[in-house]
Structure 1
């Protein structure tokens, strides 16, 4: 999707894909990070709902993976991974960082990234 929002210099992007295994998640992350801009991002936080349950990774953005996972659970989004990428803008956002993660996930879901099972 590219950059979907900015806040005090930080930029956020969101992407995702259908997945059914941890290996597929790793492949999606590797493909994303093959783009140099994403490889150099401060955080590539993600969550996934697999047939075996939910997985998440904060990638240094403590608590952000759970925010994504809870939103996916509420939407009933299964067999999918959502990745929120942040490029830090040298200003701390405090709790607003969670709102920006939520905004990015909402943008993804609203753009048709949602494929409920």
Structure 2
């Protein structure tokens, strides 16, 4: 599991991105559970994630950030990443970001793909 904390902020919201190998829905749930054992991540406003399983099945979860899981999934598909989960974590800073929240999710995934 790779975790990049405090990669950027936007109007008070703070972001982190995490990822690692994932071959099944059970492993995806276990990954999120392990990540949320860290108190900081358990208290996050959103832990959105996506993975393309080795058999080609796409999985995603918005965790209340409507549409964010699909953004992650599309980026994984575009990059040809299979069997790798990416989680974008957001701590809400008090200001709604509107459509910019999708740009921040993209920025976080891009950070992971380049640094991870």
TM-score (norm 2): 0.95
Q: Which residue of 1 aligns with 2:68?
A: 64
Aligned residues: 112
Q: Which residue of 1 aligns with 2:5?
A: 2
Equivalent residue in structure 2 for 1:46, among 41, 45, 49: 49
State the distance in 2 between where 1:5 and 1:61 align: 18
Q: Which residue of 1 aligns with 2:26?
A: 23
Q: Which residue of 2 aligns with 1:82?
A: 86
Structure 1 runs (4+) deviating above 2 angstroms are: none
State the distance in 2 between where 1:76 and 1:3 align: 26
Equivalent residue in structure 2 for 1:109, among 81, 100, 113: 113
Q: Which residue of 1 aligns with 2:59?
A: 55
- SS of the counterpart of 1:38? helix
Structure 2, unpaired ranges of 5+: none
Between 1:47-56 and 1:57-66, the stretch displaced more is: 47-56
State the distance in 2 between where 1:27 and 1:56 align: 14
Structure 1, unpaired ranges of 5+: none
Per-residue deviation at 1:27?
1.0
Aligned alpha-carbon RMSD (Å)? 0.6
TM-score (norm 1): 0.94
- SS of the counterpart of 1:97? helix
